[in-house]
């Protein structure tokens, strides 16, 4: 049966999300979320979501691609290809990758990064197309309905727990905290958060961000650590980012924030909790293991130089 690749259309959002859930059940994906992401992609990223469609109109594969406009150096692109496991072997992945590479190369990309599931088949597929393995990251899952969460504790003197909702009138302090913690996140490609307006659109206003469950640790009136919570309305909770400003590290504040957020999530009816960590982020992996998270899958970042 013929497979074609084309740009996404508004009605494709549900099919796009369905493929993502089938391939990566450890990530939240809803039609509302993917449509929002399409509509709010930064113009300098040249983002171009693609779908592979079978002859009967079924979406069987997706590709997300962009120029890393927020990276310190130019010429870096990323492409992530996902094919519904029920439709492997039909060439959809190859067609998606070819279209994505052409688009990114035309827009100045010289280095391409791609996340690939850590299976022999997926790694071999990437290798045959010129991609070499780099660093890895883990998807983790916690059975939140049954987990023996650590008990809530009163914060120390001078420390208080707030929610993101408490910053609704002026979220800029959370943007600044997010920026300083993101700056030294492990990864192949660095990122600089310096566009407050875009952060408000793509993070603060994102449909998955749950401000009531997102927990902020404030020390002597200053936001010092946070655990961002995402929910999909289906009982699934995901830690979008947990971090501590450099000046406040080593005091257990990230653990304090995440404990409070997980307790709030369970009280709100969430039954599964997910997160992901760079394999080199030992401190955060240790915290998540302490909570009871278990590795569900691993992805390997692959890189290819073009041009």
Whether 42 maps to a domain, the answer reads: yes
Each residue of 91-125: pLDDT tens digit?
999 999 999 999 999 999 999 999 999 999 999 99
State the pLDDT at residue 301.
97
Asked whether residue 175 falls in the same domain as residue 47, the answer is no
Whether 36 maps to a domain, the answer reads: yes
Signed CA dihedral, 266, 204, 225, 189: sign only: positive
3-state secondary structure 223-274: EEEEEEEEECCCCEEEEEEEEECHHHCCCCHHHHHHHHHHHHHHHCCCCEEE
> What CA–CA distance (Å, rounded) separates 141 from 298?
12
> What CA–CA distance (Å, rounded) separates 150 from 2?
53
Whether 67 maps to a domain, the answer reads: yes
Asked whether residue 268 falls in the same domain as residue 155, the answer is yes
State the pLDDT at residue 281.
87
Asked whether residue 181 falls in the same domain as residue 90, the answer is no
Whether 132 maps to a domain, the answer reads: no
State the pLDDT at residue 72.
80
User: Residues near 125 by Cβ (< 8 Å), separated by ≥ 6?
Assistant: 93, 116
Asked whether residue 88 falls in the same domain as residue 158, the answer is no
Among 86, 109, 132, the domain boundary falls at 109
Asked whether residue 156 falls in the same domain as residue 229, the answer is yes
Asked whether residue 155 falls in the same domain as residue 280, the answer is yes
> What CA–CA distance (Å, rounded) separates 254 from 287?
9
Whether 306 maps to a domain, the answer reads: no
**Which residue range is the domain that position 255 belongs to?**
142-298
Q: How far is CA 259 from its chain centroid?
A: 20
Among 88, 109, 130, the domain boundary falls at 109
Asked whether residue 81 falls in the same domain as residue 157, the answer is no
Asked whether residue 199 falls in the same domain as residue 84, the answer is no
Whether 231 maps to a domain, the answer reads: yes
Whether 189 maps to a domain, the answer reads: yes
Per-block mean pLDDT, blocks of 10 residues, the chain (307 long): 94 98 95 96 95 97 94 92 97 98 96 97 97 96 96 93 98 95 64 82 96 98 97 94 92 94 97 94 88 96 92
State the pLDDT at residue 293.
96
- Token representation of residue 113: 């990064």
State the pLDDT at residue 230.
97
Asked whether residue 69 falls in the same domain as residue 150, the answer is no
- Measured in residues, the chain has a length of 307
Q: How many domains does one find in the chain?
A: 2
Asked whether residue 193 falls in the same domain as residue 260, the answer is yes
Asked whether residue 218 falls in the same domain as residue 264, the answer is yes
- Look up the CATH number of the domain holding residue 248: 3.40.630.30
Asked whether residue 184 falls in the same domain as residue 96, the answer is no
Whether 135 maps to a domain, the answer reads: no
Each residue of 39-70: pLDDT tens digit?
999 999 999 999 999 999 999 999 999 999 88
State the pLDDT at residue 173.
96
């Amino acid at each position: 049966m013929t497979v074609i690749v084309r740009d996404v259309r508004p009605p494709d959002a549900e099919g796009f999300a369905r493929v993502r859930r089938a391939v990566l059940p450890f990530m939240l994906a809803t039609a509302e979320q993917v449509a929002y992401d399409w509509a709010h992609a930064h113009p300098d990223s040249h983002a171009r979501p693609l779908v592979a469609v079978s002859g009967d109109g079924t979406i069987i594969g997706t590709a997300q691609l962009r120029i890393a406009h927020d990276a310190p150096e130019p010429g870096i692109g990323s492409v992530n290809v996902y094919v519904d496991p029920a439709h492997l072997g039909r060439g959809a992945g190859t067609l998606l990758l070819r279209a994505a590479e052409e688009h990114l190369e035309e827009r100045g990309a010289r280095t391409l990064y791609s996340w690939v599931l850590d299976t022999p088949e997926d790694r071999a597929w990437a290798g045959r197309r010129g991609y070499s393995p780099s660093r890895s990251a883990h998807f983790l899952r916690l059975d939140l309905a049954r987990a023996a969460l650590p008990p809530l504790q009163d914060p120390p003197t001078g420390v208080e727990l707030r929610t993101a909702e408490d910053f609704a009138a002026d979220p800029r302090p959370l943007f600044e905290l997010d920026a300083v913690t993101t700056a030294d996140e492990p990864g192949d490609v660095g990122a600089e958060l310096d566009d407050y307006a875009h952060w408000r659109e793509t993070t603060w206003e994102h449909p998955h961000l749950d401000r009531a469950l997102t927990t902020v640790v404030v020390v002597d009136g200053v936001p010092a650590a946070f655990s961002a919570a995402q929910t999909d309305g289906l009982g699934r909770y995901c830690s979008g980012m947990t971090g501590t400003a450099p000046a406040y590290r080593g005091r257990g504040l990230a653990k304090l924030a995440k404990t409070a957020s997980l307790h709030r999530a369970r009280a709100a009816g969430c039954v599964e909790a997910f997160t992901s960590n760079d394999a080199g982020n030992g401190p955060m992996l240790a915290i998540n293991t302490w909570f009871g998270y278990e590795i569900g899958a691993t992805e390997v970042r692959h890189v290819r130089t073009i041009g």
